[in-house]
Amino acid sequence: MVFNSLTFVVFFACVLVLHSLPLASTTKKINLLIASYLFYAAWNPPFVILLWISTVVDWYAAQGLVKAQRPATRHAWMLLSVVANLSMLGYFKYGQFLLDNCTALMAAAGVAYHPPHYDIVLPVGISFYTFATMSYTLDVYLRRAAPARNLLDYALFVTFFPHLVAGPIMRPTELVPQFAEPHRASARQLGYGLALMTLGLFNKVVLADSFLSSISERIYDSDKIPGLLDAWAATLAFSGQIFCDFAGYSTTAIGAAMCLGFAMPDNFRFPYAAVGFSDFWRRWHITLSAWLRDYLYIPLGGNRHGAWRTYAALFTTMLLGGLWHGASWTFVAWGGLHGLYLAAERGLRARFPHYRPGPLMFVALGVLTYALVNLTWVFFRAKTFGKAWLVLSGMLGQNAQAKPILATPSLVFVTAIVGGIVLTHWLMRSRTLESVVARTPAAALSAVWAVMAFAIVAAQGSGNAFIYFQF
Amino acid sequence: MLLSISSSKLRQTASDRPGVAQPVPMRDIPAQPWKRIAAGTLALWLVMLGAWEWHWRAFGVTPAVRNSDGLWAMQRRRIDSGEGGATVLVGDSRTFFDLQLPVWARFDGRRPIQLAFEATSSLPFLEDLAADPQFTGRLIVGIAPNVFFTGSDVHAGALRYYRSESPSQRIGQWLSMHLIEPIFAFDGPDFALATVVERQPWPTRSGLPALPAVRKLNVLEADRNSYLWSKVETDPEYRALTRAIWLQRLASSDDPQSENTQRRSDQQIDRAAKAVATLRGRGVKVLFVRPPSAGPYLKAENKVFPRAKTWDALLAATGAPGIHFEDYPELQGLDLPEWSHLSRADAGRFTESLHRIVERDFWGIDPAKEAAIYR
């Protein structure tokens, strides 16, 4: 079920009541585990089997790793986990993509091959929970972590509903130890957790879904040719939409976990105030970028084998990171662009190691970073390269025959909301939300919280799935 | 681990700790009186919600069932659950608002299944029913020329929703129908926050044709029986607004001479012919119905979609019979407050007359005559 649904409101209320009852710690964990399976099954019950497979394979792989004496055996257990998880991901997420590309390749070679269309349904959140379970086996393999002490704690780590389908991508060392002790939220945790959930849902339901999504749709999902203003407005709207959608999900997830007494890591840190792309990736989808860094970039050699190996590792990591987002070459292009940006930034830092920008240049570099990030969003949002080029061409003022598409309110919404988001990120770039909340008068907090809660209800969200569920 | 701090120090994240096991996250709880804040929030929220609800009730809105894909799917599933032999209605807003299910049921004994959707061609739904062997009943296909022959597909996504509806969505639909819709008048797409803001009198962007969105026109019941909202009939200002919107939209409608208009229309007719052939092959009786329109609306429809090239061509291509309101005196002279839909009272009269015609001329006649009609 999605967070922004009536079903979730009822579900979460039941979970909160159940979790606050004076029950034994193990009983509470079993309750949470069952609730998490119900949460997942509410989309498509049979896919719970995939969760079980992922859980059981990695549980036994980690046990095998601990018992194994020889390096080759340890290696084999690690490979079993990686292959099982990636095979599952490969089949459900990339099966049709691979088949389509094979068909195209064969056609290019003059071989006519027409495989059937399989209509493979993508299990929600598979990319997230396979990465979470893989990190468990890999951490044990790399001797960074000890395996979980019991299957219940481990299964709950994999399945815990706040992070299950769209992250933050949790590491076992972040969550499993929390299950070792009884957890119940205090009144303050409950209060702040609910406030965070409201903030997250406000981002998703009001800003992303109600005000911004239709603006990008009108350009990216239509066959009209956009001019300079429309192309930029749609792309900026998408930059706001995807931030509010995904950061909104993470904030809601963190709030939901907090209401139950658990802590989850930050996934966003005001990314549109990033200056440079390494800074951007320390602020955007932090748990994914850290995962890719720890389990892909560093094993590929990281920066330990000279400049060119570093660039190659960086580029490969970002290409695969792009592919992780979706089985389409446009996502690969998105990752590739980010790889190029990171490589260029690295090259510039090496060339000018002592350069420190002044205040104006600092802001200018921030604006440049945001503008270049927006260029990558074009490939992320467009369903085809043809559409991406058309929008890019519009953004460069090259669509001479374009007619106005977006009406005045849409342009006002983009300016006000996206401008507000970027400004907020700059004001908050070196702060935490908590530090600001701590200094705000209680009456003002009540007013802001109530306005957000009212806007959520008045917006009448249609229960649209979060964008990242498809990844 | 949850801490209480009030400093502005940045928390470390996984991005600050490369290549190590990530520790249990530290989450700050700002030092604030959270109980008091929550109580204040709840009170303010209730005041705002009450004011919003009062505002829309004062505007004339009353709590009603929401027109959603979930509600449509509930009706569509009736065919899958033993009502495959029922009378089904597909079409656009005219079929949706003008055909009154209780009136039909009074004469027919059974309430039809209403699957029409406003601003949406019946074609995708016709094709869906053609592909479903469980449907063996009778089918009325409503035709509004500017919707059917353009292939307008505003709500065609309902089919995808019906095929992939999750348990969570089903539960959500039930909860909404029992906990929200019967209580809150503001729960309707016309009163959603973004829609309300968007419909303020913004200056028109230069070069962009004014194409205002259609306002709330109907009221819906749990089985998708629907009728014209009383405000359209009784509030002259609101009625004038709905008419002005039609005029603006009609002014930007298709060029009748355009090859594109004709080609698109022909494509719809071809698809309909295939679907109807499949349905009739299964013994389903298909009947096209063209409900009334009036005034400038009718004039524009006749100009862009002349009857000979659209309605007559459709009947000829499908071989199915049809009832055009212009051919039956009892379907004329009815009240259409905004030119496109019948008033609630006249929708009842229209349904009664239509049912009588259907039974007299098409579905209640002896088999030999019927065979002659269904060529």
Write the ipTM: 0.89
Give the gyration radius of chain B's Cα atoms: 26
CA distances from A255 to A454, A457, B7, B30, B223 (A): 18, 19, 20, 13, 38
Point out the catalytic residue in the list A325, A338, A354, A425: A325
Q: Cβ neighbours of residue B67 under 8 Å, at least 6 residues apart?
A: B118, B189, B218, B220, B224, B226
Q: What is the pLDDT along chain A (471 residues), one digit of tens a residue?
A: 889 899 999 999 999 999 999 999 999 999 999 999 999 999 889 999 999 999 999 999 999 999 988 999 999 999 999 999 999 999 988 888 888 888 888 888 888 887 777 777 788 889 899 999 999 999 999 999 889 989 999 999 999 999 998 879 999 999 999 999 888 889 999 999 999 999 999 999 999 999 999 999 999 999 899 999 999 999 999 999 999 999 999 999 999 999 999 999 999 999 999 999 999 999 999 999 999 999 999 999 888 888 889 999 999 999 999 999 988 999 999 999 999 999 999 999 999 999 999 999 999 999 999 999 999 999 999 999 999 999 999 999 999 889 999 999 999 999 999 999 999 999 999 999 999 999 999 999 999 999 999 999 999 976 565 666 555
The residue type of B49 is: L
Tell me whether residues B171 and A42 touch, CB distance under 8 A: yes
Whether residue A223 is found in the same domain as residue A122: no
Q: How far, in Å, CA of A180 to CA of A26, rounded?
A: 9
Query: Which residues sit opposite B288 in a β-bridge?
Result: B141, B322
List pLDDT tens digits, range A243-264: 999 999 999 999 999 999 999 9
Asked about A354 being catalytic, the answer comes back as: no
Cα of B224 to nearest chain A Cα, Å: 19
Interhelix angle for A385-395 vs A329-351, to 10°?
50
User: For residue B97, what is the domain's CATH number?
Assistant: 3.40.50.1110
- The 8 Å CB, 24+ separation contacts for A416-419 are A417/A207, A417/A211, A417/A212, A417/A240, A418/A212, A418/A236, A418/A237, A418/A239, A418/A240
pLDDT at position A385, please?
Answer: 96
**Claim to verify: residue A99 and residue A122 sit in the same structural domain:** yes
The reply to whether A171 and A194 lie within a common domain is no
Chain A interface mutation, best of B1, B5, B13, highest count of A Cβ atoms under 10 Å: B13
With respect to residue B344, please indicate whether it lies within any of the assigned structural domains: yes
Q: Do B9 and A435 touch (CB under 8 A)?
A: yes
Parent domain of B132: 84-152+219-362
Asked if B27 lies within 8 A of A174 by C-beta distance, the reply is no
**A110 token code pair:** 């003059």
Q: Which of A146, A143, A178 is nearest to A29 (CA)?
A: A178
- Looking at residue A344, its pLDDT comes to 94
Question: Is B138 among the domain residues?
Answer: yes
In this structure, the answer to whether residues A78 and A132 fall within a common structural domain is yes
Paired residues of B218 in beta bridges = B228
Q: Do A450 and B193 touch (CB under 8 A)?
A: no
Q: Phi and psi of B89, rounded to 5°?
A: -110, 125
Q: What is the pLDDT of residue B371?
A: 61
Do B8 and A173 lie within an 8 Å CB cutoff? no
The low-confidence residues of chain B, meaning pLDDT below 70, are 1-9, 253-257, 365-375
Cis bond leading into A168, ω under 30°?
yes
| Amino acid sitting at position A434 | E
End residue of a domain, out of A126, A153, A184 = A184
The answer to the question of residue B180 being in a domain is no
Contact A324, A202 (CB under 8 A): no
Angle CA A364–B14–A288, to nearest 5:
80
Tell me the C-alpha to C-alpha distance, in Å, between residue B139 and each of A251, B70, B122, B280, B323: 49, 22, 11, 10, 13
Residues A180 and A225 grouped into a single domain: no
**Cβ-defined contact of A145 to B21 (cutoff 8 Å):** yes
Residue indicated by tokens 């190029």: A340
C-alpha distances in Å from residue A462, one per residue of A165, A241, B233: 19, 16, 29
Q: In the prediction, which pLDDT does A464 show?
A: 60
Listed in sequence order, the residues at least 6 apart from A116 whose beta carbon sits closer than 8 Å to its beta carbon are none
B176 within a domain of the structure (yes/no): no
Examine the domain organization and report whether A245 and A270 are in the same domain: yes
Q: Which of A139, A157, A184 is the last residue of a domain?
A: A184
* A263 close to A257: Cβ distance less than 8 angstroms: yes
Could you give the CA distance from residue B98 to residue B292 in angstroms, rounded to a whole number? 9
Q: Residue B43's closest chain A neighbor by CA?
A: A450
Structure tokens at A169: 């991508």
- Closest CB from A7, A407, A460 relative to B175: A7
- Extended strands (E) in A145-251: none
- As for how many domains chain A has, the answer is 2
Establish if B311 belongs to a structural domain: yes
Whether residue A266 sits in one domain with residue A180: no
| In a domain? residue B248 | yes
Written as one letter, the residue type at A224 is: K
Residues of B in contact with A258 (CB under 8 A): 2, 27
Do A124 and A261 fall within a single domain? no
Residues A202 and A144 in one domain: no
**Residue A424's domain spans which residues?**
189-275+357-470
d(CA B12, CA B112): 62
Of A159, A196, A193, the closest CA to residue A261 belongs to A193
Task: Give the amino acid at B206.
Answer: S
Spatial separation of the C-alpha atoms in residues A74 and B373, rounded to whole Å: 78
Among B235, B10, B232, residue whose Cα is nearest residue A429: B10
Which of A244, A460, A462, A466 has the most B C-beta neighbours within 10 Å, making it the best mutation to test the interface with B? A460
Q: Using CA atoms, how far apart are residues B305 and B150, in angstroms rounded to an integer?
A: 10
CA A105 to chain B, closest CA, distance in angstroms equals 32
Which of A141, A161, A184 finishes a domain?
A184
Quick one: pLDDT at residue B256? 65
Judge if A133 and A20 occupy the same domain. yes
For chain B, give the number of residues.
Answer: 375
Domain presence at residue B25:
no
The count of other CB atoms within 10 Å of the CB of residue A67 is 10
- Residue identified by tokens 């409900």 is B291
**Domain identity same for A121 and A244:** no
User: How much is the pLDDT for B170?
Assistant: 93
Whether residues A180 and A204 share a domain: the answer is no
Among residues A159, A191, A187, the alpha carbon closest in space to that of A175 is found at A159
B196 CA: distance to closest CA in chain A (Å):
10
In a domain, B310, yes or no: yes
Q: What total of structural domains would you count in chain B?
A: 1
